[in-house]
Amino acid sequence: MKTQWVLSALLISCISWEVSAIDVDKNATIKDTTTTLMGVNHIGLSVKNLDKTLAFYLQATGFELVSREKISGNKQADELFGRADISYEVAVLKAPNMLFELTEFKHNQHVTPQTMPPEGPGMTHTCFQSPASESGWDKFAEAGATPLSRGGQAIDLGGYGVTYGYAYDPEGNMIELEQLDDKVLANSGRAVWAHKEKMWMTQVAMATHDIERLMGFYQQVLGFLPYRAAPLKDKIRADEIVDIDNVHMDGGWFKMNETSKTLEFWQYVNPITPKFTGQRDVTAMGYSFSLEVGDIQEEYRRLSELGLKFVSEPIKLGEFWIVYTHDIDGNAFSLRQAVNSESRLSVRKLDMQ
């Protein structure tokens, strides 16, 4: 199946993108990029109660806690996040193939967490995959996840060896859980890896009011084509997964490495994904993500020329050079470059597994 999109106009003053006509290439991956982008380094989650959410994810995932630290009175952090006297605590978990960072910002303590609806808009969820024999759904349920999917269990969508389920963490952040049988793992190239790793993370998932426009934007940012686009409708089991009758949505995907990472996009047609106006603060409650690059100064320059507005210039903080920006839907994301190219927290190492 082919879908056509082309970026035909850019009004830099308001970052307005008009889209039509780019072919999907089923073989395209980030290895085809014309940029220095290397892949997704981390999923970020801004939370109100770090102790509670960290305990939940540690129990459910079994991921390694790499670090936990409090930061305040740091001029580099103030500049990075665009806030004076910023104060926060961050915990970094290491999944087998990417990082998962939970951050409690002091200025968000008055904010009431909101439950994310499946149709968005925004970065609605990330996905945790596991072998069917080591069900991630069961592990998250035991940790106290609140099921969204009907029946309180993962759903077999099509009889092809994968079960899907949506649930919420203690603060209402949506998560997707996928359980893969041995045949699917073998076909995906993850069979040997999955015998060692009992759970891993797979995607950045965004819901948008205009999927062609948003994917056209990311095609320009990433420098390669999406590998798949497809509608999802008239499937009773899909209704059960998202707990919406007669759900209809259009989807698209960029492959961020050979086996386990994607950028996933959905435009809900029923119910309609609302349009979000404005920009989400980079410290706002909920999800963000980072794209690791080989040359952050080059990508900062390139994307600035495309019209992206950055919160700051690249800032060295901890083990990474970092800079934040927004996509055309107002979703926050960052660019990262490892200070030490051989860091085990770099995509260079994470994607070797």
Residues 175 and 243 in one domain: yes
Is the model's pLDDT at 10 over the cut of 90?
no
102, 45 in Cβ contact below 8 A? Answer: yes
Per residue in 188-231, pLDDT (tens digit) is: 877 777 778 899 999 999 999 999 999 999 999 999 999 999 88
DSSP sequence for 10-59:
EETTTTEEEE------TT--GGG-SSSEEEEEEEEEEES-HHHHHHHHHH
CA distances (Å), origin 124, targets 6, 120, 267: 25, 6, 12
Q: Give pLDDT, residue 79.
A: 98
Which pLDDT score, from 0 to 100, does residue 353 have?
53
Mean pLDDT of 140-163: 95
Inside any domain, residue 352 = no
Residue 175 pLDDT: 98
107 & 204 share domain: no
Helices (H), the chain: 50-61, 75-81, 136-143, 182-188, 191-196, 211-222, 236-242, 296-306, 347-350
Is residue 30 assigned to a domain? no
pLDDT score of 293: 98
pLDDT mean over 74-95: 98
* Mean pLDDT, range 303-323, rounded to an integer: 97
Q: Tell me the two tokens of residue 48.
A: 């109100």
Rounded alpha-carbon distances, angstroms, from residue 311 to 12, 272, 281: 16, 31, 10
Residues 44 and 178 grouped into a single domain:
no
Q: Say yes or no: 154 and 265 in one domain.
A: yes
Asked if 150 and 241 sit in the same domain, the reply is yes
Are 179 and 83 members of one domain? no
Q: State residue 22's pLDDT score.
A: 45
pLDDT above 60: residue 9: no
Residue span of the structural domain in which 64 resides? 37-112+279-345
Mean pLDDT over 39-60 rounds to: 98
Number of domain units in the chain: 2
Residues 210, 267: Cα–Cα separation, whole Å = 6
Q: Domain end: 247, 270, 293, which one? A: 270
Tell me, what CATH number does 295's domain have? 3.10.180.10
Show which of 270, 298, 316 is a domain's final residue. Answer: 270
Specify the pLDDT at position 352: 60
Mean pLDDT score of the chain? 91
When pLDDT is cut at 50, 70 and 90, the band that residue 3 belongs to is very low
Residue partners of 187: CB distance under 8 A and separation at least 6: none
Whether the pLDDT of residue 140 is over 60: the answer is yes
- Indicate if the pLDDT at residue 338 is higher than 90: yes
211 and 75 co-located in one domain: no
Please indicate, yes or no, if residue 350 is contained in any of the structural domains.
no
- pLDDT of res. 108: 97
**Confidence label for 16 from pLDDT (cuts 50, 70 and 90):** very low
Residues 198 and 148 in one domain: yes
State the pLDDT at residue 252: 95
Which whole number is the average pLDDT over 95-117? 96
Say whether both 54 and 127 belong to one domain: no
Please check whether residue 222 lies inside any domain of the structure: yes
Residues 222 and 146 reside in one and the same domain? yes
Residue 68 bridge partners (DSSP): 91
Which contacts (CB < 8 Å, 24+ apart) does range 348-351 have? Answer: 348/38, 350/39, 350/41, 350/96, 350/97, 350/98, 350/99, 351/38, 351/39, 351/97, 351/257, 351/261
Tens digits of per-residue pLDDT, 235-285?
779 999 999 999 999 999 999 998 889 999 999 999 999 999 889 999 999
> pLDDT by residue (tens digit) across 66-84?
999 999 999 999 999 999 9
What CA–CA distance (Å, rounded) separates 321 from 304? 17
Mean pLDDT of 55-60: 98
